[in-house]
Chains A and B, each alone.
Chain A
Amino acid sequence: MTTMTIAKAINEGLRATLTNNPRALLMGEDIGPLGGVYRVTDGLIAEFGADRVVDTPLAESGIIGTAIGLSLRGYLPVCEIQFDGFVFPGFNQITTQLAKMHSRSNGNLTVPVVIRIPYGGGIGSIEHHSESPEALFAHTAGLRIITPSNPHDAYWMIQQAADCQDPVIVFEPKRRYWLKGEVDTETPGTSADPFKAHVLREGTDATVVVYGPLVPVALAAANAAAEDGRSVEVIDLRSISPIDFDTVTESVKKTGRLIVAHEAPTFGGIGGEIAARISERAFHSLEAPVIRVGGFHMPYPVAKVEEDYLPDIDRILEALDRAFSY
């Protein structure tokens, strides 16, 4: 066991991938000598050289598009998109090309590209640097989307994404990059399947489903709720596509109440999908409607007011109050 931050864990995971797979390479803006704007690739160019840690032109469509070509030639490109809000110049390549290549080739071609995207708010940044666009990608068949919430998952998930034969987007919770935790670099243990949700805290009265940056928030809310005598189960979804509905359903059948929280706007978001599926699967177990906690239907607001936008402990507690009022 080693203690490290999420950023360092991803760095170590990338190092392991580059070491284990000679056809793996990293591509992105400023990922070379600078080590990326969040220093996640720090030191890797010195170790693996400029052919395997590639500083690209500032062109997201070009990054994803050339990554597709490299993967068609048998390489494993791991692309860094600098910030969530800057993925959109590459959106066309991701949704019309990367996601569909295996299907449209009748299974003849595989494009195991990995795309890393730092996402989410709470860092007081300027426009386009705090968004949570995961639902836009989750809606696209052919992609897999995972998001770690702790260093151990971060270390293993980036490697599992690299091992996967399908294209995988790894959404990295940027405001948690400096969160420290224990990493077992010998074995993933219970994190062996990146597409499986984890029950982080057991409870009997309500379930709170979260992922990525909101995991610590949900755990704190559960602690606060315990003081009011409410036993709250917290699930870290970990994978946004596919979603581990079995784990969520099992929990809701036990607790009877479900809150889903994410930073992304609630409308058309992952919470809505979970609410719909759980209503179908566990209708008779539900004591209250599934309640969503998320961002508002507005462009991500300016940094000085983002605290009013982001789901926090109180917003989750308020949602629990509503769930218990039925």
Chain B
Amino acid sequence: MGATHLPSTEFDGTDIEDRLEAEAEARLGDPAEPMVQLLAPDGTLGSDPVFSEYAERLNPEDLRGFYADMAKIRRFDVEATALQRQGQLALWVPLTGQEAAQIGSGRASQPQDYIFPTYREHGVALTRNVDLAELLRQFRGVSNGGWNPKDTNFHLYTLVLAAQTPHAVGYAMGIQRDQKFAASAAITDGTPGQTAEPKAAVMVYFGDGASSEGDVHESMVFASSYNAPVVFFCQNNHWAISVPSSVQTRVPLANRAKGYGFPGIRVDGNDVVAVHAVTEWALERARQGEGPVLIEAFTYRVGAHTTADDPTKYRESAEEGRWRAKDPLERLEKYLRAQGLADDDFFERVRADGDELAAYVRKTTHDLETPDIRTAFANTYVEAHPLVAEELAWFEEYSAGFVDEAEPADTEAAN
């Protein structure tokens, strides 16, 4: 393991039947392919010639923080699902099972990095300090993007699959140009060629299903051609609604990076330590100008695709059971307890914090204000637009016509 995860330049020519068999095994949670894993499901810490170095940077507080984040976001997921069932949200997209992939990668990012999520990255949102109540606006139907990405460098959710991947590459191309601007300004000023801003990278999330979209291909071509500072973070959760990942790919997704000429690494997506290490490595090299990386986080969507989905129609519950045995929280809890890094008090406190977050989210969801359609008129264009103005004027006049009619009706009701 380790260096072998880095790309070779030669196609390894594995027989396709073997590969399909390997994928079938992989779905059961035992990938035959090389995969970076540091924290095993039994809670023991292994080593890796490349990535142990990154894991060693973590102190006990970091590890407790990872656990707290994962527990928090899982509790949030339960609450949001309940809110949907109670009719408070139109839809919910659960993340349970993918906490390590999201917290590990999100915690590896730095504030100056810019993150493009898909629509399930609630855990990453937590690591970027997005107010989770604001995140629910979209699912309550009061906003198509509930937060200002400029506050947290966490972009809006994108629902058109993979459409955010070229945005991420373009953003990264912008960062490259900023650095050139800063360098040339430094030359002009006669100051040393160091940029005032810390070097930044971009990370973009997508799933095994979205990996089939043409935008992923085009993004990777652009990223490679311009050596853009972007990390492609693919959460292979094995199911695109009802279609298994074997329909999207006949080779491990990470291997696709070879075709574009940059490294692809498969990491145990339920191992928060390994995910953090690999992502930190990838982001660091991107910030240093060494170009893109594809990370495939091998994980599992334990729940439904959304609250409108019914996984019993397309997969065996035994499969879910096998993956639950690889639970990202349980393995870290085992490790923390075994190493004496956390005790019952800690886990009790984490549970209490989760409940507090859930209560906050529940209350705020109820309080979320329904916007006025006038804001939609206002935000269609930046600059004044005669058609929008005309339609708004009509709407105002039309709406005003109802005021007088409503009052007698109320009086009647009162009588």
Contacts and interface: CB of A to CB of B under 8 A. Distances in A.
Interface of A: 22, 25, 51, 56-57, 59, 61-62, 64-75, 77, 89, 92-93, 96-97, 100, 102-110, 112, 141-142, 144, 164-166, 195, 241-246
A66 B222 contact: yes
- Closest 6 pairs (CB-CB, A-B): A69-B170, A65-B166, A73-B174, A66-B170, A62-B218, A104-B144
A141 B380 contact: yes
B22 interface: no
A72 B376 contact: no
In this complex, which of A67, A72, A241 has the most chain B Cβ atoms within 10 angstroms of its Cβ?
A72
B44 to A, nearest CB: 41
B318 interface: no
B143 A61 contact: no
A181 B226 CA distance: 39
Q: Main secondary structure on chain B at its contact with chain A?
A: helix
A67 B145 contact: no
Contacts of B219: 62, 65-66
Interface string B161-191: 0010111111111110110110000000000
B368 to A, nearest CB: 13
Contacts of A142: 380-381
Interface residues of B, number: 45
Given A61-B215, A62-B221, A92-B163, A166 B173 contact: no
Contacts of A246: 386
Given A66-B219, A166-B383, 15 more contacts: A22-B181, A65-B169, A65-B170, A66-B166, A69-B166, A69-B168, A69-B173, A72-B155, A72-B170, A73-B170, A74-B174, A97-B167, A103-B376, A166-B382, A245-B386
Contacts of B414: none
B224 to A, nearest CB: 9
Given A65-B163, A68-B166, A97-B160, A106 B177 contact: no
B385 A242 contact: yes
B59 interface: no
Contact of A103 (B175, B218, B379): B379
A212 B148 CA distance: 39
A104 B171 CA distance: 18
Contacts of B165: 65
Contacts, number: 144
Nearest to A196: B386
Contacts of B177: 25, 51, 70, 75
7 contacts: A61-B215, A65-B219, A69-B172, A93-B215, A104-B145, A107-B379, A166-B381
Contact of B382 (A64, A66, A165): A165
B312 interface: no
B391 to A, nearest CB: 10
Contacts of A62: 166, 169, 215, 218-219, 221-222
Contacts of A75: 174, 177
Given A61-B214, A106-B145, A165-B383, A66 B160 contact: no
Contacts of A59: 218, 221-222
B78 interface: no
Nearest to A113: B170
Contacts of B218: 57, 59, 61-62, 65
A22 B143 CA distance: 34
Contacts of B221: 57, 59, 62
Contacts of B175: 73
B169 A69 contact: yes
Contacts of A110: 382
B143 A106 contact: yes
Given A65-B170, A66-B169, A97-B160, A164 B383 contact: yes
A69 B167 contact: yes
A109 B145 CA distance: 11
A68 B170 contact: yes
B149 A102 contact: no
A65 B145 contact: no
A105 to B, nearest CB: 5
A203 B172 CA distance: 54
Contacts of A112: 382
